[in-house]
Amino acid sequence: MERIILEEISVTAHLGVTEKERAKKQKILVTVSIVPDIHFKSLNDSIDNTINYSNVRGDIINIIGKNRFKLIETAAGKLAFYIKDNYPVKNIAVVIKKFPYKDTKFVAFEFKI
Q: Looking at residue 14, what is its pLDDT?
A: 95
Q: What is the tens place of the pLDDT at every residue in 12-34?
A: 999 999 998 889 999 999 999 99
CATH number assigned to the domain covering 4-112: 3.30.1130.10
Instruction: Over range 45-53, report the average pLDDT.
Output: 82
In the predicted model, is pLDDT for residue 48 greater than 80? no
Average pLDDT, the chain: 93
Q: Looking at residue 39, what is its pLDDT?
A: 75
Q: Looking at residue 21, what is its pLDDT?
A: 87
In the predicted model, is pLDDT for residue 105 greater than 80? yes
In contact, 113 and 79? CB cutoff 8 Å: no
In angstroms, the first-to-last Cα distance of the chain is: 16
| Beta bridge partners of residue 98, listed in sequence order | 28, 107
In the predicted model, is pLDDT for residue 41 greater than 90? no
In contact, 38 and 53? CB cutoff 8 Å: no
- Spans of all domains in the chain: 4-112
Instruction: Over range 45-56, report the average pLDDT.
Output: 85
Q: What is the tens place of the pLDDT at every residue in 54-93?
A: 999 999 999 999 999 999 999 999 999 999 999 999 999 9
Q: 51: closest CA among 37, 41, 64? A: 37
